[in-house]
Structure formats: C-alpha cells, structure tokens
Structure 1
C-alpha cells in the first residue's frame, strides 16, 4: 500500500482480533520495514497474537521515495509521515516498536500524536545523536564522486551509505537531516513509560541508563547480541510480545 505521504506501507491483519490497538513498527537507518520486521518474524508474531501491524518504509528507505532536501529527512518530517500513516490506518490509539533510528523517531510520537500512544518499545536506541560527528559536506562528496572523507567516522558512514547504490544520495540527505535535529532526551510525552531494549554487546547503546533514569517507571531489558544481531533474536521478539500484551 502507498500512503498519501508517498511512503510504502505494509499491513498485516490478525487471524483473530485481540481488541488491542494496532502496532506501528519503525525500522532503523539504512534498512527497511521488510528487513527489520518481516524477515525477522516480528510482524508475523504480532499478527498471530491478534494485533493489526503497520510497517512503513521511511523516506529514503526501502520502496519509499528519497528526500530531495535534508529538511525532508529531518525528525519533524519523518515523524509527521508516521502520524499520517497512522491516521490513514484509522489508528486512534496505537502501540509502537522502533529500532535504532526507528526508536529515535518513536520517542517523538507521543508529542506528535497526543493521547494516542499506548505502549512503546524502544530498541537499540543511542543515548546521543550518532550522526552529529559526521562531516556532511564530505559525506555528500563521497556519494557524488567517491572522494574519501578524511575523518574516519565520516568515511565509515560514507561506506555504509554508498553500499546502497542509487539510494545513497537520499540516505546522505537522511544523515544530514537527522544531524540537524539531534536526539536530546528530556521528558517522555506518553502516558505509559517506554521499555528500552538493548543488546548485551551493542556499543551503540552504551549510556542508555542515563536516558532510562530520566523517566519514572521506565524499564530496561537486555537481550543477547550486538546492534545488528538483536532484531533477529528470539529474546527481542519475546520481549516485544510481552510488553505489548500488558
């Protein structure tokens, strides 16, 4: 299905309804809804538990259109896209599960859709904005003509972005947009505190305890794996199902 935002959206209907609200699944940077949620079995497991599941590809990712400017890929625009997808699905209330960049966006949803977020699982969330250290001009040059960035971190991001071929320019704009709207956690706007899920060997989430400590009643669950292994793990999927069944 294509949203009026232009985003590609997959939906999964339950075989039997649980009477609970739909679940929005938000993927990470450089991935897409199919890879993070369908291939890993999370979308199917939620549908089997009686939940309608909504799985969009974010702007610049999967089968959704690429941004033409960094502003189209900043957090405000990406979150607005997600609210529109929820509106189109008729989701007056919803649960949300986000991973990595998807968790960063999910953090903003209670404020963007007041009173509608029931439960939230934030997986693989970095306590700081990882793209703040990127030299975006050098990144765009690397994508345009292959010039190797002098900065090692920017070079690593450039290599990851360029591996996506024709999608690289759009992903570079996503990096710039996210860099321009860095993660600065203060308070949670939802009625129910989120559950944070991190991999035992995930260096990206080091220091997440500081964010968890900001929120009364927030929980932190640790599962096996590093940043790229967690999503495919049974422990992550089991944690999501348990939290959203409350």
Structure 2
C-alpha cells in the first residue's frame, strides 16, 4: 500500500489496474478499512476483472491512515477533501465513485464539491439517512470509549464496538469521527447530484433508511434492493456486485 498527504495527514491507499482503464474510487464505511470493506469482500478483484482501475484508501482515523482524535478533523467536507487530494495525487481528472455507509455520505459531499470530477456514483448502505440522519449515534461513541464490550448494553453500540475490536481500530479516533462525520445534506443539495447513481440498500438494513425515498430526490438515480441482507452483510453480496458491474458498464 502507498500513502498520500491530505490536510497534513498521511493516508494509505491502493491503486490496482492499468492507468488506461476507467477508474473507480472505493470509499469505505465507518470503523472499517479498505481491506475489510473492499479487498476481503472481493470488490477489488471483481471490479478489476471487469476492466477497471480500482483505487481504494483508508479514511483518516481508519486502517493504516493517520488517526487524529480531534473531532474537528472529521467533517464530511474535510473527508471529501481527502478524496479529491487522492485523485490529484494520482492525476485522475474524472472517476466513478462507490461509497458504502459513511463512505456514501463522503461520496455525496465529494460529488457536490467537485461534480466535474465524478462520472457515476454508487451509494451502498445509505438511503434517505443521507438527508434525515441514521439515528442516535451518540450511543456508538459511548460504546467505543467504554472500558470493554461487556460494559456496553445498547445493541447498535455493541455491534460497532465488537466490529472495532475485531478490526483492532483506534477507538478514540473512531469516537471523534462519529461525532462530526454524520452531517446531513438537505433535499435541495441531494437534488443537485445529477450523475447517474445506483443506490443499493439491504432489505434488512435498519440503519440506511429508504433507498427509494433518496432516489426520488435525485434526477438520475435508481435503486437496487439487496435481498435478505442487513447493513453489515450487504456490502459483500454477490447480487450487489453483479448489479454494480452492470451499472458501471452503462455509457454516460
């Protein structure tokens, strides 16, 4: 894995595939990493086999990237700035982007900040929660800072604390991240995202919110229901992979 600098932070990334191929940038979810979200689930291989130059990176506070513990470091605007800094570092003028959960939120902010840089968008694990929020995440910050998993009683807090422990994440950095990264967009802002967009949400996902309601706000979006999958399992679903490859292959 290589590194690039954004906002004076060293962030890790990987870049696979020939430079002449069309690029797709993968933006992982909260408490995850490019390895957990994209490599171990087979996305990098799937998209590479489909003919794409596949780029992924670890968000600030995650994986092998720098881990500030200041909440101000984790606004979606700053995290979208990391995406654009990576594209600049790789001299990529325009790319498709695929974000999962928090990564979908960051992808949306990126598309609004620099629409000329983004050709197609895939939002995974995030529907109308992009506008209305995704529930009370203060319990997750508290769970991350608790002495141990045994001290956490909230079900969602336990899920994310167990995930952070399993991935050996910096829990203080994640608690700072979750405090400021979940800023919502307005309906009008979402309506300005005009790139062709695929929204994939699991039918058992109780975090993302309605994909149909989000798509209805956008001028060029459609929905793929990931059957029988919850928030954690949707990302690796084979039917979702097939639909994303099909979507990316459409001419824009």
**TM-score (norm. length: structure 2):** 0.84
Q: How many residues align?
A: 239
SS of the equivalent of 2:25 reads: strand
Instruction: Quote the offset at 1:210 in angstroms.
Output: 1.6
Correspondence list, 1:57-206, <5 A:
57-128=58-129, 129-130=133-134, 132-134=136-138, 139=142, 143=145, 145=147, 148=151, 152=154, 155-156=157-158, 159-160=161-162, 163=165, 167-179=170-182, 181-186=183-188, 187-206=190-209
Match of 2:215 among 209, 212, 217: 212
Q: Which has the higher strand share?
A: 2
Measured against aligned partners, the alpha-carbon deviations of 1:13-57 in whole angstroms (never above 9, x if no partner) come to 14x954x3x110011111100111111111112222221111000
Tell which deviates more after alignment, 106-115 or 30-39: 106-115
Hey, what does 1:7 align to over in structure 2?
Answer: 11
Instruction: Quote the offset at 1:126 in angstroms.
Output: 4.3
Cα root mean square deviation, aligned: 2.6
Matches of 2:121 and 2:68, distance apart in 1: 27
**TM-score (norm. length: structure 1):** 0.85
List gaps (5 residues or longer) in structure 1.
none
SS of the equivalent of 1:35 reads: helix
Measured against aligned partners, the alpha-carbon deviations of 1:201-238 in whole angstroms (never above 9, x if no partner) come to 22223323221111123100112322111222211111
SS of the equivalent of 2:98 reads: strand
Q: Answer whether contact 2:104 2:124 (CA < 8 A) is retained.
A: yes
Tell which deviates more after alignment, 53-62 or 216-225: 216-225
Q: Answer whether contact 2:76 2:181 (CA < 8 A) is retained.
A: yes
SS of the equivalent of 1:7 reads: strand
Hey, what does 1:242 align to over in structure 2?
Answer: 246
List gaps (5 residues or longer) in structure 2.
none
**Structure 1's 25 and 154: CA in aligned 2 closer, same or farther, altered over 3 A?**
closer
Measured against aligned partners, the alpha-carbon deviations of 1:53-107 in whole angstroms (never above 9, x if no partner) come to 1100001111111123111112111111111011111110100011111111111
